[in-house]
Amino acid sequence: MSLYQNLYKEKYNKPAPINKFREKWAMQDVIDSVGFDKAVELINYYFSLEKFGHPLQFFYYNFDKMEQARIELHKDIETRRLLREQTKKMVEEGGL
């Protein structure tokens, strides 16, 4: 919860409008589902998105979808990197 609160304050220059004692149980469910390290990654990823207000309820209901999107994004980045390397190699060898 403190990571969420710190990121929220950093982004919006005001404290997060949450009930910390109530929200910690929902956040614990996220941690139990994906593990602590993955939950930290997901919260950081959530704040990298252009979601206005970054409400916790949206995060709780969509963290699994965000994780899947994050995985797909990393796969796409790696695929594009490999394609660039292959293209560069073909150009250097005179294949294009």
3-state SS, the chain, equals CHHHHHHHHHHHCCCCCCCHHHHHHHHHHHHHHHCHHHHHHHHHHHHHCCCCCCCHHHHHHHHHHHHHHHHHHHHHHHHHHHHHHHHHHHHHCCCC
Rounded Cα distance between 84 and 72, Å, is 18
Average pLDDT over residues 66-90: 93
pLDDT for res 96:
60
pLDDT at 79 over 90: yes
Task: Check residue 62 and give its pLDDT.
Answer: 92
**93 pLDDT more than 90:** no
Chain segment 5-16, per-residue pLDDT in tens:
989 898 898 988
Locate the domains of the chain by residue range. 2-92
pLDDT in tens, 14-44: 988 888 888 888 899 999 999 999 999 999 9
